[in-house]
Amino acid sequence: MSMTPRKLVIASGNRGKILEFEALLNDLPLTVLPQPDDMDVDETGSTFTANARIKALTVASATGSWSLADDSGLSVDALDGAPGVHSARYAPSDPERIARLLQALKGKETRSARFCAALCVAAPDGSVLLEVEGRCEGRITLTPRGDQGFGYDPIFEVEGTNRTFAEMSLREKKAHGHRGRAFTLLEPQLRQLLSQA
């Protein structure tokens, strides 16, 4: 018996993130769609999990479909956890965010950091179906390296690999990355949910 794919709207306007999720979700009976172009959700939560929940619930309600949201960011030890939940708003563009972060770390010996990704799947009726969180430890490089990925990927060297996310293929990033790790926790639960739906 073949299942009709369920629509899953990715609560993001970030094309790189949507492509990453399409690759992660391609084994599941889902039709993956981006959120409507004119949608902008205020991320007012104080944690990654709270922001993911806000986005998933808002987009699910607006589209009438299940929605998957992630909120992820970079927390740098020497900057007391900044940029944290403000990672995407740390500066207007990726190159400016990278430049600001490298400037803030100038002269600091401690460069340890971690990426955190919180994932939330919500239904249009306002219920939260699934929530998970994944982390990836690493350090901030002195200069950007690599041309894959987006955001802070060129300056985040993954612990134990000597490579930045921007130097990794999507497959490697899935294995090492915070979003990939969160998805590894989410996938079996999502698969079970789909089999019951």
Sketch out the chain's domains with CATH numbers: 6-196 (3.90.950.10)
**Quick count: other Cβ atoms within 10 Å of Cβ 95?**
11
What is the percentage of the chain residues whose pLDDT exceeds 70?
Answer: 97
What CA–CA distance (Å, rounded) separates 123 from 131? 12
Tell me what pLDDT residue 1 has. Answer: 42
Known catalytic membership, residue 125: no
Least confident interval from 105-114, 157-166, 173-182? 173-182
Over range 5-10, report the average pLDDT. Answer: 91
Residue with tokens 């970030």: 14
Give the phi and the psi of residue 161 in degrees, each rounded to 5.
-115, -20
Bridge partner residues of 136 (DSSP)? 115
Contact between residue 78 and residue 111 where contact means Cβ atoms under 8 Å apart: yes
What CA–CA distance (Å, rounded) separates 107 from 127? 47
Q: Which residues contact 6 (CB under 8 A, 6 or more apart)?
A: 29, 30, 31, 65, 66, 194, 197
Asked if residue 29 has a cis previous peptide bond (ω within 30° of 0), the answer is no
Write the pLDDT tens digit of every residue in 28-86: 999 999 998 888 888 889 999 999 999 999 999 999 999 999 998 999 999 999 999 99
What CA–CA distance (Å, rounded) separates 95 from 152? 9
How far CA 126 is from CA of 18, 29, 59, in Å, comes to 23, 22, 10
Write the pLDDT tens digit of every residue in 8-23: 999 998 888 888 888 8
State the catalytic residue, choosing from 71, 94, 125, 147. Answer: 71
Of residues 101 and 38, more confidently modeled: 101
Give yes or no for residue 88 having a pLDDT over 90: no
Least confident interval from 4-13, 70-79, 112-121, 162-171? 4-13
Look up the pTM and report it: 0.83
Over range 175-180, report the average pLDDT. Answer: 86
Tell me what pLDDT residue 3 has. Answer: 54
Bridge partner residues of 106 (DSSP)? none
Which candidate, 28, 190, 17, places its Cα nearest to that of 120? Answer: 190
